[in-house]
Structure 1
Amino acid sequence: MTGERFTLDPSIKALLTDLGVSPARVLRRGQLATDLFGRDAIALSPDEYFRLWAALDAEGGDPNLAVAIGKSISVEMFSPPIFAALCSPDLETAAQRIATYKPLIGPVRLDVSRGEEGLTIAYRWPPGSTPPELLAATELVFWAALARIGTRHHVRPIQVGVPGLGPDHAALEDYFGVRVEDGPDHTITFGPEDAGRPFLTENEQMWRFFAPELRRRLSDLQAAASVADRVRAALHETLPAGGSSMTAVTRALAVSSRTLQRQLRLEGTTYQEVLASTREDLARHYLSHGTTRTAEIAYLLGYDDTNSFYRAFRTWTGMTPDAVRATAAAGT
C-alpha cells in the first residue's frame, strides 16, 4: 500500500467531541499536522492513519473506548460509508459493498465469505504491520452496530476472533454477546438468519446516487497504486485459497502475464520477488500474533506442504518459523 492515502471521515471531529477527547491533543500526540481537522479534505498515509488511532487510544485512556465508539454510531451520523452501507437490503450486501470500497478510507482490505456457518468478515492489514488495538476493535464493533441500526434488532455475532487477545476484553464480550476468541486474524461471523435479515434503512435510490462517485474514486486510487502494491493486494485474496500462481493474480487484476511481468520490471522487481516478500511479511505476522499452527500458516500462504514453507522461510530469514514464534513470544 505504499504511496496510498486515505480519506478520513469528517465525522471524526464530532466523534472526538462526543468522546470528550481533545482533538488538539490527539494530533499532537500522533505527531500530525495541527490544522489537520480544519482541512476540507483529510487524506492520511497508512502510517499517519495508524498514528491517529494510537493517539486516540492513548488520549482516551479508556479500555472500553471501542465499545463507546460503537454506541456513538447512529443513523443520524452522516458518514458516507455508514450511510451507503445502511442503504443496503441486508448485512451481507452491506459487507460486500464496504469490502469493495474500504481501500478508500483505510489501509486495510476485507475478505467477505458466506459459508454454512454464516457470514464472515476478515481483516487483511498491510503486510508486516500491526494495527492499533483500538482501531481493530472498533472495526469489529462497527459490524454489530451497523447490523443493529439497520435491522432495529439486537443482532449478535456467533463468533469474534482477535489475534493476541489480551486479558481486558470483558466489555467487548458484553457488547457482542459472545465470547471473543484468540485467532490468526481479526474476524467476525454472523449467523445466516442475521446476515440476511432485512435492513429497515434500505434505500436503493440513494445507493445508486452514491455508487458512481465511489467507483470513480476507487478507480483513481487503483491507478495511483504501484503495480507491486496491486499484486500484493491480490495475493492477500488468492493465497488462502491456494492461488500463488501468476495466473491467479493476473486473473484478479485483469491483465495478461506478459503485461504484468513488463510492468513489474519497470518498477525494478519481479513477480517471484513480490510473492516471496508478501509471504514473508504474512508469515511473520501469523507467527507473531495468535496461535495459528505452522501447518495452517503454510496453507494460508498457498504452500502444498509444511516442509516447503519451512525451507522458504529459512531462505528468507535464516531462521525457522518456530524460532521466530519463540522470539515474538519472549518479547511480549
Structure 2
Amino acid sequence: MSGLKADTPTDGVEQSLREDAQQPTAIGSYTLAIAKALEASGVDSARIFQVVGIPMDLSNDPMVRLPTTTLTRLYRACVEVTNNPYFGLTVAKFLQLPHLHALGYALAASGTLMDFCRRLERYFRLASQVAKVSLTEVDGKVLLRFEYLVELSGETEDAFSGFVVRTMRLLYKPEFSPLRVELHRPMPREGAEPYEALFRAPVSFSQVDALLVFDKADLLQPLSGSCPELAQASDSIIIGYLARLDKSDVITGVTQKIIEFLPVGDCTRDKVASAMCMSPTTLQLKLSQRGTNFQQLLDDTRKELACSYLRQAARPVTEITFLLGFSDTSNFTRAFKRWTGLSPTDFRQQA
C-alpha cells in the first residue's frame, strides 16, 4: 500500500481531527462514494478509512459532517494506494443523488436543468461549505460557477463537477454535455484526456474558479422525472437542515420559521422573532445588516412557495391561498400578480 500503515489512529491524527473541527465541512455520506471507488479499484476501503481516522459507518444524516481537510487527507491516501491521479473522476461514477440527502431528492425532482442549477445555487451548503455557487446568464449561455472559499483537493473538485454533469445526463439525456469546463485544480501531469472524455467538452485548468458553461436552451427543456410536490417538500427539509447547520445565518432561520408559520395564518415579525429567541428590533437589525428585511423575506418566500404549489396540478388555488397565509383568494391573486405579472391561473397554464 505504498507505505501506508494500517494502525489505529495515532494521537497525531486525533489532534488533527480536533483542529479540523473548525474547518468547513461536507456531508459525511459523501465518503460512501469514495469507499465504493476504492473497492472498485481493488483496495480495502475499511483499511484506508482506518488509517485516516474516518469511521466506515457514517449515516446519511446531513448533520453528520466531515471537515474538508479530513477529506483532503483521505483523497491523498486514496490516490497513493490506487496510483490513480484521476481518482476523483472515479468517485464521480459512484456519487449518487441519495448521498446528498434531501438536496439529492430535490435535484432529482426538478422540473428543468435550470431548476436543478438554481437549487445547487441556493442549497449547495448542505452538501459542502467549501464554495459559493452562483448562476448567471450571458448571451444564451448559463454559467454555473463554484467560487472556492478555501483550498481543497483537486479530487474533491473532480468528483463533484463530474457528478453534476453525469447527473444532468441521467435526468435529461445521455448525449447532453456542457459547452466548456473550467477547473481550479492544475492539470495532472498525465494529461487532460480523462476530463475531456467525461465532460465531452473543452477543459481548462488552473482557473480562479470552477465553471460549467451550458446552452440555456438545453437547461430549459422539461425533465421527464419532474415532481413538483417532492421538490417543494425536499426544499423545505433542506432549509430546516441549513438553519440547524448554521445557526448564525439569520436569513435561513427566518425563512424556515416563515415556512412553518404561514399555514397557520399567524406569520408576523414579532412571532418569528420570539421563535428565534430575540426581540423584533434585534431581528430587524440583523436582517438589515444582510441587506434585507422581514417583509421582503416574507414576500420572497411566499412567491417561491406559490410558484412551486401552482406547478402541482392537484392543488386547488383555494388550498394554496391558505397554505400561504392569505385570508382569501382575491388577496393571494393580487399579491401573485404583483410578484409575477400573472394571475395564478395564467401562471399554472404556462407552467
Do both proteins adopt the same fold according to a TM-score greater than 0.5, normalized to the shorter chain?
yes
Which of residues 200, 211, 221 in structure 1 aligns to 2:224? 200
Residue matched to 2:170: 149
1:116 match: 139
What whole-Å deviation, never above 9, does each CA across 1:9-55 have from its counterpart, x for those lacking one?
A: 264344544454432233244x324xx22244532123223333333
Map of 2:194 onto structure 1: 171
TM-score normalised according to structure 1 size: 0.60
2:65 to 17, 31, 43: 43
Task: Provide the rounded CA distance (Å) in 2 between the counterparts of 1:19 and 1:224.
Answer: 41
In structure 2, C-alpha distance between the alignment counterparts of 1:140 and 1:132, rounded to whole Å: 13
Identical columns (%)? 14
Matched, 1:188 2:212: yes
User: Which amino acid is 1:135 matched to?
Assistant: T
**CA deviation after TM superposition for structure 1 residue 87, in Å:** 0.7
| SS across alignment from 2:246 | helix
**Bigger Rg over Cα:** 2
Q: Indicate conservation of the 8 Å contact 1:3/1:225, yes or no.
A: no
**Cα RMSD (Å):** 3.1
Normalising by structure 2, report the TM-score: 0.57
1:161, distance to aligned residue in structure 2 (A): 0.8
Secondary structure of the residue aligned to 2:224 is coil
The question of 1:211 aligning with 2:235 is answered yes
Correspondence for 2:161 = 140
User: Which residues of structure 2 form unaligned runs of 5+?
Assistant: 1-20, 251-286, 295-351
**Letter of the 1:67 counterpart:** L
CA 1:251/1:200 → structure 2, altered by over 3 Å: closer, same or farther?
farther
The whole-number CA distance in structure 2 between the counterparts of 1:3 and 1:67 is: 24
Say which of 158, 174, 180 aligns to 2:179. 158
Q: Distance in 2 between matches of 1:251 and 1:216?
A: 22
Q: Which amino acid aligns with 2:121?
A: A
Deviation at 1:4, TM superposition (A): 5.0
**Aligned mates of 2:116, 2:43 — CA distance in 1:** 30
Alpha-carbon distance change, 143 to 67 in structure 1, aligned in 2, over 3 angstroms: same
Which residue identity lines up with residue 38 of structure 1 in the other structure?
D
2:107 to 74, 85, 100: 85
Q: Cα–Cα, structure 1 residues 216 and 161, in superposed 2: closer, same or farther, change >3 Å?
A: same
Aligned length: 229
Q: 1:190 to 1:19 in 2, by over 3 A?
A: farther
Structure-1 residue corresponding to 2:124: 102
Distance in structure 1 (CA, Å) of the matches to 2:198 and 2:122: 27
Tell me the alpha carbon deviations over residues 305-328 of structure 1, each in whole angstroms, 9 at most, x when there is no partner.
xxxxxxxxxxxxxxxxxxxxxxxx
Partner of 1:22: 44
Q: 1:133 to 1:209 in 2, by over 3 A?
A: same
- For the 8 Å contact 2:89–2:155, the answer to whether it is kept is no
Q: Is the 8 A contact 1:74 1:149 kept in 2?
A: no
Distance in 2 (CA, whole Å) between partners of 1:57 and 1:224 is: 36
Distance in 1 between residues matched to 2:47 and 2:142, nearest whole Å:
39
Amino acid at match of 1:138: A
User: How far is the alpha carbon of 1:132 from its aligned partner?
Assistant: 0.7
How far the C-alpha of 1:255 sits from its partner, in A, is 7.1
User: What displacement does 1:190 show?
Assistant: 0.9
| Pair 1:224–1:111, CA change in 2 (3 A) | same
SS in 1 for 2:178: coil
Deviations 1:76-132 (A, max 9, x none): x66523332111011111111122221122132212222224121111222xx3211
Residue 250 of structure 1: how far off its partner (Å): 5.4
Amino acid of the residue matched to residue 220 of structure 2? G
In structure 2, the residue corresponding to 1:197 is in which secondary structure? coil
Tell me, in whole angstroms, the C-alpha distance in 2 between the residues paired with 1:89 and 1:194.
Answer: 12
CA contact 2:27–2:100 (8 Å) conserved in 1:
no
CA contact (8 A) 1:25 1:59 kept: no
Alignment of structure 1 residues 222-301 onto 2, 5 Å: 222-224=246-248, 252=290, 254=292
* 1:156–1:172 Cα change, 3 Å: same
User: Could you say which structure has the greater relative contact order, defined with CA pairs below 8 angstroms and 6 or more residues apart?
Assistant: 1
> Which range moved further: 133-142 or 194-203?
194-203
